[in-house]
Amino acid sequence: MFDTSPLPHYFSPEHEQFRDMLRSFIASEIIPNINAWDEACTFPRELYRKAGALGLLGLGYPEEYGGTPCDIFYQIVLAEEFARSGSGGIQASINSHTIAMPPLLAAGSEEIKRRVLPSVISGKKIAALAVTEPSGGSDVANLRTTAVRDGDHYVVNGEKTFITSGMRADYITTAVRTNPAVKGAAGISVLLIEGDTPGLTRTELKKMGWWVSDTAQLHFNNCRVPTRNLIGIENQGFKLLMHNFNSERLFMAALAYGFAQVCLEEALDWARQRNTFGEPLSQRQVIRHKLADMVLRIDAARCLVYDLAYRIDRGVGDPAQLVARICMAKVQATRAMQFCADEAVQILGGMGFMRGTRSERIYREVKVMMIGGGSEEIMKDLAARKLGF
């Protein structure tokens, strides 16, 4: 296996201690159960509390809300180690707050932060982000869910779809149109909608992968949401949502090469053990080339993510170029994941098609990584525009 030992200018001994702790949590709490949970399409809610107790849900949040301030390399470690579980679904659910809570932290009132963040960070409550609608997810500026002011409430009507943790969420950070007269980004706001709000109903969705993760369509029918649950300034929510996407995309890129690495490891183990025509598969040049092709894609994606994390951490570089390269990193890493999942299943042969191998699951989970959080087409187009093409 190629050398993946941590680089000291990116990862300190403290990062590595955190990695060890996380690795043993995932090895003891998730890996032994993940096949059964995936088949059952659910996992115990208790896992949030366990993750919360270890401080995994509060990374990057101030201590006053129960969090642990940290640099971006802790987030990279979080993604890399969660990928070792071989399940995108479990990480998507456990970490759904990582896309739902940043708008609250950035722009929520002190009252909301104190009320919501500690309960989510400790794993007592679950948070989801609801942006995508049945009419489209890429074109966020065109969203149709309305929130019309009525005294000290907004009345919310509309639908959101494909929402991770949507069935379980106690708090739903929701993108709404507060000014229906204005088309496009200008009339959009962010509202925190509580899970027990009358008029909110949910429908569970069945999926190609991420079975263990709940994914829902949310229906808002005259939901009355207190105006104090507005996050940031009315009609200025679009920027808040866009800013949120950058960290989500870098995190997804780290996850993607992490999953690719799991496929590589499973394929390499198999190739060493499996004999055909009197020799291990790993002795065949055509198989060795497949493995080498996997390594080069993983390595390229990993190096790009580390370089970007370093630049973000140090505040180096033009912000527009950084956004462009984050988009590119997501594309490159998810392509590496797709390539490696495909080649790993091929190397495993019929076994790669069987439920229970990690490569089989990751193969089913590739497309959501290439679509969710900004699809490949949208990523390339945004990158091109940011680069001034």
Residues taking part in catalysis: 248
Q: Left if phi > 0, otherwise alpha if psi is -120 to 50, otherwise beta: which for 184? A: left
382 touching ligand FAD, by CB under 6 A? no
Mark 194-213 with x for binding to ligand FAD (rule: CB under 6 A) and - for no binding. -------------x--x---
CA distance 24 to 35: 18
CA distance 53 to 15: 18
Phi, psi of 69 (to 5 degrees): -60, 140
231 touching ligand FAD, by CB under 6 A? no
Residue of 88, 172, 80, 180 lying closest to 130 (CA atoms): 172
284 touching ligand FAD, by CB under 6 A? no
CA distance 140 to 156: 17
Q: In the complex with ligand FAD, which residue's Cβ is closer, 140 or 254?
A: 140
164 touching ligand FAD, by CB under 6 A? yes
Q: In the complex with ligand FAD, which residue's Cβ is closer, 188 or 267?
A: 188
Per-residue CA distances from 380 to 136, 139, 298 (Å): 18, 15, 20
158 touching ligand FAD, by CB under 6 A? no
To ligand FAD, the closest distance from the beta carbon of 64 in angstroms equals 27
Length of the chain: 389
- Residue number, nearest CB to ligand FAD: 137
Q: In the complex with ligand FAD, which residue's Cβ is closer, 137 or 187?
A: 137
Q: Residues 321, 386: contact at Cβ < 8 Å?
A: yes
Stretch that binds ligand FAD, among 54-62, 109-117, 310-318, 371-379 (CB under 6 A): 371-379
Stretch that binds ligand FAD, among 78-86, 110-118, 354-362, 367-375 (CB under 6 A): 367-375
Q: In the complex with ligand FAD, which residue's Cβ is closer, 200 or 281?
A: 200
Q: In the complex with ligand FAD, which residue's Cβ is closer, 58 or 137?
A: 137
Per the structure block, which two tokens stand in for 251?
A: 């995190």
34 touching ligand FAD, by CB under 6 A? no
Of 368, 369, 382, 383, the one binding ligand FAD (CB under 6 A) is 368
Stretch that binds ligand FAD, among 160-168, 236-244, 268-276, 289-297 (CB under 6 A): 160-168
Mark 323-362 with x for binding to ligand FAD (rule: CB under 6 A) and - for no binding. ----------------------------------------
Residue whose pair of structure tokens reads 């439920």 in the numeric block: 355
Stretch that binds ligand FAD, among 33-41, 44-52, 133-141, 187-195 (CB under 6 A): 133-141
Could you tell me where the DSSP H helices lie in the chain? 13-25, 34-40, 46-53, 72-83, 88-94, 97-100, 102-107, 110-121, 237-273, 285-314, 319-348, 358-371, 376-386
The angle subtended at Cα 40 by Cα 351 and Cα 359, nearest 5°, is 25
Residue 293 CA from chain centroid, whole number: 26
Residue numbers of the site for ligand FAD (CB under 6 A)? 128-132, 136-138, 162-164, 207, 210, 215, 368, 371-373, 375, 377-378
